[in-house]
Chains A and B, each alone.
Chain A
């Protein structure tokens, strides 16, 4: 197939693809996102390939490696279409059984089904699993059914239809109006209205304009952008092309983290394929509009997620932010008007154009429309990516989709917004999640990380963790950020090591205020959030560290003491064997001897916790 020269030719090509595909033909899809890759999906794919090859009926079935389905906790995931039977934690040796039993005979393999954590009920179909049930997957949904390296798969689910519509029947201004009407807000963190940004960029003086996709997803604990770019790169590309047409840009960049090798590969393949079929390049779909996209790989600096730093990095410079008295939409990349949006924002654009702003604006809350993909991680049963309508409560996300806290522990907080965000306590668990409400409670949406914390998470330690992260990632340009994050980290270290004083709390608040008010970019301006929000909601925990020198969550090592409970100790001696300091003594129980319970020498103990993690009998107590 050569370049497609008109919207009509696109529809014809799409019909050709669809006519060759029988929707009822069984298809085995294996999730090949990074999460499932880490749990061994490639061996599962190889096993299925072999089964299909060896069996005389094998050719009748399709096998497809798809992008991330989101339910990473239970990977490798296998879904059998058209019934959408979900098998979880599949091993290569399960492949022949799945083929013989389920695909040929229609028999469900109970042992591979998802089991409800509380009721123990086995669930057969993907859509019935509570993790998926409440989701609204308008952006993320196609990840599970398409092979990201096959443009035909994207076309089969209606891909590039929105682009054809935009180019053939909409004026660029009309597109901007549509995005404004949908009230699409930037999914990268700030939540700035995308339509307004596009309009300003379009009106900025100059002939050359750029569009940029920010895929420098640096927030620890957030990976929805990676999953989109890996699993459905064409949807991001389609959004960018529509945006470029609306703004009048002829060149675009995707700035992607180098730590995401699969995303770099898949977006590269997608660009090649889009060029071959004429969705990129000159005279796109016969409209006379020219546009092309390049990939720029990041160098592993968190600050490059900030727009001006990112642009400096694309230009081949050190990624330092600059003052934004003149915004990047007026003067950005190589001093030209540049419109930057994040991966998820771009992926929303085709949906808005295809289904209309009115439909889109029905979803969500007053100020935040549409859906948001969150990465639900940390101390929660069902870890993974969830796409939900804006305005859903934290409770629904954590308890209904996430299945609650593992090990029967008590919920403590949810951290949102990465290092720029804050910790939301249990008292606010019924908070509807949208841009404005999260900001009101001292956190922020950020790119959508949702890290669940339970009673065994120390909030002072969490604040210390984030300031440590920020002090490393501060580019050093503003003194207040460079020194402020460093001093906050020092103070928090003092507190977690038992040298804190009550004045430290005031000092932290003051430092936080100065850092926020006098830093140039978002990194410094939001850097105190993790500290201030934990002081605000968990002041007692800080006081406990400072006054009683105790860490209630038993995390801060210096404040802990390990003891072996002699009545529980089975005298197996495993703890003594792993102790790096030889601080544990005792006598092993053998067939001949009773042995002696083991003891920890507090003087020698470095509190590494190895014994605690090794003991199988819960004989080691931490205080």
Chain B
């Protein structure tokens, strides 16, 4: 993110200190994480000490301080999904991707996250990949869905056909 892009976001909120959450959210939405230099810049502009910015960035779930994978997988662990076996989906994903929730695969293909409720309880257990919802999941379906998003695999499959 360039300096002027950061400035544009800050200006959208009239440079108000109380808008720090919204500013960080906009940066997170664009970069998918909060780069250190960007946070320093925001702190200077808004005259907020960097330790306070880090306190906010680490308190709220919505923010990440590390770069994210190309595809974001979110598994709902709300109560309704839990009683229908949402944990098994997460277990399966941790086996398949060899990462725990909150982590990103070393090749930066996938980031795995859990969420406390997406409010799509009727379709639970639910898993969302890049905004695509997969409802009524069971753990045996996980591999197939990952393959749909694994571009390298897809290309090699297409090549074979």
Q: Which of B111-161 contact A (CB under 8 A)?
A: 115-124, 126, 133, 135, 138-140
Q: How far is the CA of A483 from the CA of B106 in the complex (A)?
A: 34
Contact B18 A378 (CB under 8 A): no
Residues in B whose Cβ lies below 8 Å from that of A297? 21-22, 25
Q: Which of B23-54 contact A (CB under 8 A)?
A: 24-25
Q: How far is the CA of A457 from the CA of B140 in the complex (A)?
A: 21
A30-38, A55-63, A107-115 - interface stretch? A30-38
Which residue in B56, B79, B88 is a CB contact (below 8 Å) of A221? B79
What are the interface flags for A398-442 relative to B under an 8 Å C-beta threshold, 1 for contact and 0 otherwise? 000000000000000001001000000000000000000000000
Which residue in B61, B117, B140 is a CB contact (below 8 Å) of A299? B61
Instruction: Count A interface residues, CB 8 Å.
Output: 59
Minimum Cβ distance to chain A for residue B47 (Å): 12
CB of B8 closer than 8 Å to a CB of A: no
Minimum Cβ distance to chain A for residue B81 (Å): 8
Contact A221 B80 (CB under 8 A): yes
Q: How many A-B residue pairs have CB under 8 A?
A: 142
Minimum Cβ distance to chain A for residue B138 (Å): 5
CB of A596 closer than 8 Å to a CB of B: no
Contact A300 B62 (CB under 8 A): yes
Contact A38 B25 (CB under 8 A): no
What are the interface flags for A16-41 relative to B under an 8 Å C-beta threshold, 1 for contact and 0 otherwise? 00000000000000000011011100
Contact B120 A73 (CB under 8 A): no
Contact A72 B116 (CB under 8 A): no
Residues in B whose Cβ lies below 8 Å from that of A418? 79
Q: How far is the CA of A316 from the CA of B18 in the complex (A)?
A: 4
| Interface bracket on B | 35 or more
CB of A319 closer than 8 Å to a CB of B: yes
Contact A301 B124 (CB under 8 A): no
Contact B79 A580 (CB under 8 A): no
Minimum Cβ distance to chain B for residue A604 (Å): 14
CB of A462 closer than 8 Å to a CB of B: yes
Name the CB-closest residue of A to B60: A299
CB of A5 closer than 8 Å to a CB of B: no
Residues in B whose Cβ lies below 8 Å from that of A298? 60, 62
Residues of A within 8 A of B (CB): 34-35, 37-39, 72-73, 75, 217-223, 226-227, 258-260, 296-302, 313-319, 375, 377-379, 383-384, 415, 418, 449, 451, 453, 457, 462, 465-466, 469, 473, 475, 578, 580, 608-610, 613-614
> Can you list 5 A-B pairs with a CB-CB distance of less than 8 A?
A34-B119, A260-B119, A299-B59, A377-B124, A613-B88
